[in-house]
Amino acid sequence: MLINGLAIMAACMLAGTFLGDMLGLMLGLKGANVGGVGFAMLFLILVTNKLKDKKLFSKAAESGVLFWSSFYIPVVVAMAAIQNVQAALKGGMAALLAGVLGTVFCFLLVKPLSSLGGKQEPLPQFAE
């Protein structure tokens, strides 16, 4: 059911936020969440793949994750994108260079990483 998919996403978000907060503390960044959204997405991928492999992930739960992720992922990514933009710009050229180089590097990795997975069926579409 849809609520199971939401529960999985919520658990992954809580775990990712906790890990990001702990990483921020370990790096000495008071009150900063370092990579929490990324950890949450990684946890979501790992958990759903593990549940699919063990045949414990129902079609209803899968559709729940797909449904809520259509709202969740864009909102969370947008929220993460605006965090500390002013502080990064005040940080000078090093912060700007790190952001630009990181983005370019990630764009360059899309094709090689997508070829590693091989051909698979596309994700199921939502019923309208």
pLDDT, tens only, 9-18 = 889 989 998 9
C-beta separation of 4 from 60 below 8 A: yes
Helices (H), ranges, the chain:
2-26, 36-53, 59-81, 85-90, 93-116
Q: What angle do CA 103, 46, 109 make, to 5 degrees?
A: 25
Q: Which helix (H) or strand (E) holds 94?
A: helix 93-116
In the predicted model, is pLDDT for residue 33 greater than 60?
yes
* Percent of the chain topping pLDDT 90: 9
Q: What is the CA radius of gyration of the chain?
A: 17
pLDDT by residue (tens digit) across 42-95? 898 888 888 888 888 888 887 777 777 777 667 777 766 666 666 666 777 777
End-to-end CA distance of the chain: 17
**Average pLDDT of the chain?**
80
